[in-house]
Chains A and B, each alone.
Chain A
Amino acid sequence: MKKKNNKILSYLINFSLILILLFIWEQIVVQFEIPKRILPKPSQIIDYLAKDFTSGKYALLTKTLLSFRDALIGFSISVFLGTLLGIIFHQFKILKTIFSPFILISQLLPVPAFAPVVAALLGYGFETKIIIIVLFTIFPVIVTVESTISSLSANYFALFSSYNAKKIEVIKKLFLPSILPDLITTMKILTTASIVTSIIAELPLTVSGGIGKDIYNSFNNQITTRVWASLVMLCTVSILFFKSMLEIEKTIINKYRYAKE
């Protein structure tokens, strides 16, 4: 009971803090007469969002959701493909040695610089966008999967070997369940990373309808309020995505009693 009260209290504090900050922001803009194209008032941003919703167009929402959808597609491919590659790398160390430098390099390059290069090579469409997201989110998955499997006690391998288990059984009954907790931790980090990459990847591409492109255009046309309104939408979606991963994690950890030794 006490725990629950604490939670409510911390929510209340958070909420009031945000309100206070918004109020200060509003006052600063009013007092110093900051023009709207430099910093809009919070009330103007809220107004802008409200108009977008009441007009029935839901333009910002639709665009945010589209960017989010692409992030989710890239994210899912990364998790699936990364797990597969992690397992393959564990099985064939030689492949790991060959491919690791390339994957590492793809991580070292900043997305804004690398995305146009990829686009020039692979075209400016939807597939390229997904490929860019996957390129920038798959590495942590591979590393997590490979290292978690490698750190399993040799006894587990001996155990499955004494059952004369097929490789697929070892993967299903030993590898996948053992990597799950660490994989979910990595997935939590990738929720935001995939959304950020999705936004940035939109800039050099011709795929339209995403919030990234919209932010870029609004900024160029000095519609700063729209930029801010878009950011609010983006943050909301990112937080919801992250929170839902947290919930999934909690459910799985509790159900299978992971890490409760």
Chain B
Amino acid sequence: MQKNNSIELKELSILYNDLKIGLEAVSKASFDVKNGEFISIVGPSGCGKSTILKVISDTLDLSYSETRGDVKVLGSSPKIAREQRKIGFVFQKPTLLQWRNLEKNVSLPLEIIGLNKIEIKKRVKKLLKMVELEKYASYHPDQLSGGMQQKVSIARALAYDPEILLMDEPFGALDEINRRKMNDELLSVWKETGKTIVFVTHSIEEAIYLSERIIVLTKQPGRIKKIINVDLPYPRKNELGSMKFYKYINQIRLLLENEEEIV
């Protein structure tokens, strides 16, 4: 069982100490993410969802915060996993380099790794094809819609073939229709690549539509309220209006609404 886990969190607490009062962002969170699993984290804003991703990817600014507890990524520390480039990160904003065209944006991590040009070209072509943007290779980010930009950023995160994909509300800025479309495309990417995906969102529906399991966090400090198995067959397009889907929505909504009683 141990070997099948991509990520293991044991009693992870995160404290912000820049305010001198030692604000606790996350409190004693423990969960495992299995290899190849699609897991979502939902919770009210400020519950530390994004901060957990930062800890897993070893990008948290430790001059303002400290962590307690144990985090293992692919059996080692997050730092080692980062140094071995095992983690791809997709931010809420596409975070593309505006002076580079799409092709060059996707090739950025590969250039840094130091791959040869022919190999880079081959990989970038494949990635752009996967996100259906091969026609736009020479376009610059400002010529694309927000959804397309986010697809580029996903392709870029996949470029160096990391084993884990961390996504921090990647479709939060999109309208409902585009978001659904992006969800479907993300699922097809997941199916094609078999990556482990940890997906942070504030949309309950999106979490149910996408993930195998959902971690529900409480308000600050974020504690794990419940981990829910979503027992719905993929693709879930047909499940959208179903009773079962609705029940999941209700269950999570109740968990989020009633949290005051428990805290």
Q: How far is the CA of A261 from the CA of B91 in the complex (A)?
A: 18
Q: Which residue of A lies closest to B79 (CB)?
A: A164
Type the 1/0 row for A171-183, where 1 means its CB is closer than 8 Å to any CB of B.
Answer: 0011001001000
Contact of A163 among B93, B98, B113, B142 (CB under 8 A): B113
Q: Determine if B99 and A257 form an interchain contact, defined as CB atoms under 8 angstroms apart.
A: yes
Is A94 an interface residue when CB atoms closer than 8 A count as contact? no
Q: How far is the CA of A131 from the CA of B132 in the complex (A)?
A: 55
* Cβ < 8 Å to A, chain B residues 89-130: 89, 91, 93, 95, 97-100, 108-109, 111-113
* Cβ < 8 Å to B, chain A residues 151-176: 153-166, 169, 173-174
Q: How far is the CA of A38 from the CA of B108 in the complex (A)?
A: 64
Q: Determine if B93 and A153 form an interchain contact, defined as CB atoms under 8 angstroms apart.
A: yes
Measured between beta carbons, the chain B residues less than 8 angstroms from A158 are 54, 57, 59, 89, 91
Measured between beta carbons, the chain B residues less than 8 angstroms from A153 are 93, 95
Contact of A258 among B59, B98, B112 (CB under 8 A): B98
Is B179 an interface residue when CB atoms closer than 8 A count as contact? no
Q: A162-B87, A163-B113 are in contact. Are A156 and B95 (CB under 8 A)?
A: yes
Q: Determine if A162 and B112 form an interchain contact, defined as CB atoms under 8 angstroms apart.
A: no
- The residue in A158, A256, A260 that gathers the most chain B C-beta atoms within 10 A of its C-beta is A158
Q: Determine if B57 and A162 form an interchain contact, defined as CB atoms under 8 angstroms apart.
A: yes
Q: Which residue of B lies closest to A162 (CB)?
A: B89
Q: Determine if A257 and B112 form an interchain contact, defined as CB atoms under 8 angstroms apart.
A: no
Q: Determine if A155 and B83 form an interchain contact, defined as CB atoms under 8 angstroms apart.
A: no
Taking the nearest CB of chain A, how far is it from the CB of B148, in angstroms? 14
Tally of chain A residues near chain B (CB < 8 A)? 24
Q: Which residue of A lies closest to B113 (CB)?
A: A163
Q: Determine if A163 and B97 form an interchain contact, defined as CB atoms under 8 angstroms apart.
A: no
Q: How far is the CA of A180 from the CA of B142 in the complex (A)?
A: 18
Q: A163-B160, A173-B111 are in contact. Are A261 and B97 (CB under 8 A)?
A: no
Measured between beta carbons, the chain A residues less than 8 angstroms from B112 are 160, 163-166, 169, 173
Taking the nearest CB of chain B, how far is it from the CB of A93, in angstroms? 11
Type the 1/0 row for A89-111, where 1 means its CB is closer than 8 Å to any CB of B.
Answer: 00000000000000000000000
Q: A163-B113, A164-B82 are in contact. Are A177 and B99 (CB under 8 A)?
A: yes
Q: How far is the CA of A174 from the CA of B112 in the complex (A)?
A: 11
Q: Determine if B108 and A173 form an interchain contact, defined as CB atoms under 8 angstroms apart.
A: yes
Is B175 an interface residue when CB atoms closer than 8 A count as contact? no
The 19 sampled A-B contact pairs (Cβ below 8 Å) are A155-B93, A155-B95, A156-B95, A157-B59, A159-B95, A160-B112, A161-B59, A162-B82, A162-B85, A162-B89, A164-B112, A173-B97, A177-B97, A256-B98, A257-B98, A257-B142, A258-B98, A261-B98, A261-B142
9 tightest A-B contacts by CB? A256-B99, A158-B59, A257-B140, A155-B95, A165-B112, A163-B109, A260-B142, A155-B91, A163-B112
